[in-house]
Every structure is written in structure tokens, then in C-alpha cells.
């Protein structure tokens, strides 16, 4: 029923989405008696980032992907309908430039695209050779010709020509939010569905009624900043240095003054919360917060046991999950103290089996 990577059959999309929603409903039926709200993706041009191998056959080069069932045979990608319109426009233009300039083509083996709804584009060219001044000159000319930013990478080299980021603008509850997205850091791949996720999370926050918010795994602040409108104060933690740097920038550019962003893993924060020990924990002035809610957006493994016990101490748990199976396991572990009151499906990856979910759990 689901398609190979990169393929789209829009006529099948609603049936696939319904199957995902039914699977989610069945998985959570022990904890939730209703049906999840379903947030669909555009059927085409929904993916803001993509990466391809660049395959060389004689004088010709092309973008390639690989079927997991036959991983040694490249599949030529001449168009990429799941990719943003900007990615699709850049693909042939970039190939033309590479074919015209051997210095850009030589030992180039991978190309990564990062684009935005507002039309910005960052292209990373990855090589099996050292990049020199000639490459730098040609790449800068290509930046100007295609109106993009370019980064060149090779072993022990990272050549940022003009900038290492794009600035995305997402609209949430009628307000525009600007988010700096840095190359090689995590961003939500489907910007339209990301807006749905933010809208849903903010609507849940409206039902909670204020207090302070603790956020774990805050990334570049995508959820942090819109949610900050619904809480008195926000303490947000993240382990990645690059993401913390982006989050601090995004906080400033969006004129947010009630958010504190700290660099710390969820596991370390959980241990520090329990023991009161640790230099960074003491810096946060936890007694100055009146937490009503914790927001988590963990990796696929879900919440570890210590963090489950941490979130159990909050009246409200807002949870975004890239793996509903571990969300279900966490909801089962929390069922004795919290009931699941809202469940949502977000179709970040149409035409695949992948599902993302949102849940609001409230203290019994």
C-alpha cells in the first residue's frame, strides 16, 4: 500500500492517511476512547530538505537514490515530487552547472538541500577531495547565479561561502515566527505539517490555563517560542550546541523575553531535578518556577525511565512523538497517574509507514 521512497500517487494518499489514523487509534485504544485528530500533508512538494548521492557514469552525472531491497543499484532521480518546488527547480540547474565546470563535478559524491517555505535554499556539496581556491571561486559564482547559499564539505574541511543557515517563517495562530535552521542540525522536514503541529500544541496549551512550562529536547526552539505565549515562564533544555545557538538566536529575533534556554540533556536534567545537584541545575533557579506543564519531543527511543518519572510530577504532559510505539509505551507507564485526553496524527512523511503523533496527558 505504501510507495518506494520519492514516489507519489496522490490518488492513494487519503486511503494511506486513513490507514495510519486507524492504526494509531487501535494502538492507543486502551488509554484513549476517541479517535485522533488527523493533520494531513500536502500530497506533493512537502519536503523541505533532501539528500542525494551524485552518481557518475562517464561524462554524465545524475542524482541517485537506492532501494533498500537492492542497495547497490542506483535509481536515477530526475524529479522529486515529494521535495519542495525550490528543490525541484534547483536540481537540474545544479546538474547543468556541475557538467559545465569539471572543478565542481570532480569527486562530488553527495548533495544536500535545505529549503524553506519562503524560498531560501542552502546546498551542501560533499566531496572525496580537498577543496581549493578554484572550487571556491566557481562555487561563489554558482551561489550568485542560483540565488542560494553553498557549503562545501570534504574530509576535515567545511567551507561556508556566505552563510550556514536558512531562515524559515512559520505562521502559528495568525503570528509569523522566524526560525534560523543551521546546516546539519535537526529541522522538521515537512514545514506545512510542522505548522499543524505547532497550532495543535498551542491549542492544547490554551486548555491548561497558564503556569510555567518545562521543555526537554527543545532543539532550535520551534515549539518553545510559540508555546511561550501561553505560559508565564519557560525553561527549555537541549544538549546540542548548534541547536542551542540557533534557539538563542530565534528567541532574540522573535523578541521573546520569558524563555530561558539551557544546554543539558534530558537524562542529566532528570537526575539533577531529583537530586538537586549539578552546576547547571543550580543555574536555572528552579524554585523560581511554578511548573504546570512539561513539553517533550524526544528521539525515537522515547522517554527513558528517569525522564518518565520526572514528567510524572507535572499536572500536564504535552508530548510530540516521532515514534508512536514508544509514545504508547510511555503512556502505558504513565497511565496510573495521568490520563490521555488528546491524541493527534501528523503526517510528516506521506507515502511511507512513518507516523508522528501528539498527546496531551493530564493528572488523574
For residue 187, the SS3 value is: coil
Compute the chain's Rg from CA coordinates: 22
Decide if 237 contacts 289 (C-beta within 8 A). Answer: no
Catalytic entry in 76, 194, 322, 325: 322
Secondary element (H or E) of residue 293:
strand 291-296
Residues 6+ apart with CB under 8 A from 153: 124, 125, 126, 127, 159
H helices of 254-338, in order, are 266-275, 279-283, 305-311, 324-334
Grid cell 511511507 is found at 352
Residue 179 grid cell: 526560525
**Greatest Cα-to-Cα distance within the chain, rounded to the nearest angstrom:** 67
Q: What are phi and psi of 232, to 5 degrees?
A: -70, -50
Phi-psi region of 2 (alpha: psi -120 to 50; beta: other; left: phi over 0): beta
Nearest to 43 by CA among 74, 76, 12: 12
DSSP string, 57-116: ETTEEEEEEEETTEEEEEEE-S--TTB-HHHHHHHHHHHHHHHH-HHHHTTEEEEEEEE-
Active-site residue, 356 included: yes
Q: What is the DSSP letter of 261?
A: E
Q: What angle is formed at CA 246 by the lines to CA 245 and CA 247, rounded to 5 degrees? A: 90
Catalytic entry in 120, 168, 215, 356: 356
- Sign of the dihedral through C-alpha 192, 197, 201, 203: positive
Active-site residue, 322 included: yes
Positions annotated as catalytic residues are 322, 356
Amino acid at each position: 500500500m505504501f510507495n518506494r521512497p520519492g514516489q507519489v500517487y496522490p490518488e492513494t494518499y487519503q486511503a494511506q492517511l486513513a490507514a495510519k489514523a486507524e492504526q494509531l487509534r487501535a494502538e492507543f485504544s486502551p488509554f484513549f476512547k476517541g479517535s485522533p485528530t488527523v493533520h494531513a500533508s500536502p500530497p506533493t512538494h512537502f519536503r523541505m530538505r533532501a539528500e542525494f548521492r551524485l552518481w557518475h557514469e562517464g561524462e554524465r552525472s545524475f542524482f541517485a537514490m537506492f532501494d533498500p531491497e537492492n542497495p547497490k543499484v542506483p535509481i536515477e532521480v530526475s524529479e522529486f515530487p515529494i521535495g519542495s518546488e525550490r528543490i525541484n527547480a534547483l536540481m537540474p540547474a545544479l546538474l547543468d552547472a556541475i557538467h559545465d565546470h569539471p572543478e565542481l563535478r570532480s569527486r562530488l559524491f553527495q548533495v544536500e538541500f535545505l529549503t524553506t517555505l519562503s524560498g531560501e535554499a542552502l546546498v551542501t556539496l560533499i566531496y572525496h577531495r580537498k577543496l581549493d581556491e578554484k572550487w571556491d571561486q566557481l562555487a561563489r559564482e554558482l551561489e550568485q547565479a542560483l540565488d542560494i547559499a553553498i557549503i562545501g564539505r570534504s574530509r576535515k574541511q567545511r567551507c561556508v561561502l556566505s552563510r550556514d543557515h536558512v531562515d524559515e517563517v512559520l505562521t502559528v495562530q495568525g503570528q509569523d515566527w522566524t526560525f534560523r535552521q543551521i546546516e546539519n542540525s535537526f529541522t522538521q522536514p515537512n514545514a506545512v505539517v510542522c505548522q499543524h503541529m505547532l497550532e495543535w500544541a498551542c491549542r492544547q496549551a490554551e486548555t491548561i490555563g497558564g503556569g510555567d512550562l518545562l521543555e526537554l529536547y527543545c532543539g532550535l526552539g520551534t515549539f518553545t517560542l510559540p508555546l511561550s505565549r501561553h505560559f508565564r515562564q519557560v525553561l527549555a533544555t537541549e544538549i546540542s550546541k548548534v541547536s542551542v545557538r540557533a534557539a538563542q538566536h530565534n528567541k532574540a529575533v522573535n523578541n521573546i523575553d520569558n524563555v530561558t534556554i539551557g544546554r543539558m540533556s534530558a537524562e542529566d536534567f532528570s537526575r539533577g531535578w531529583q537530586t538537586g545537584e549539578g552546576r547547571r541545575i543550580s543555574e536555572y533557579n528552579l524554585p523560581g518556577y511554578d511548573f504546570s506543564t512539561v513539553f517533550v519531543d524526544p528521539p525515537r527511543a522515547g522517554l527513558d525511565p528517569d525522564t518518565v518519572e520526572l514528567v510524572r510530577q507535572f499536572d500536564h504532559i504535552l508530548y510530540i512523538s516521532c515514534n508512536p510505539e514508544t509514545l504508547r509505551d510511555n503512556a502505558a507507564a504513565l497511565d496510573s497517574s495521568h490520563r490521555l485526553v488528546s491524541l493527534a496524527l501528523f503526517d510528516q512523511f506521506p507515502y511511507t509507514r512513518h507516523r508522528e503523533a501528539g498527546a496531551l496527558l493530564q493528572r488523574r
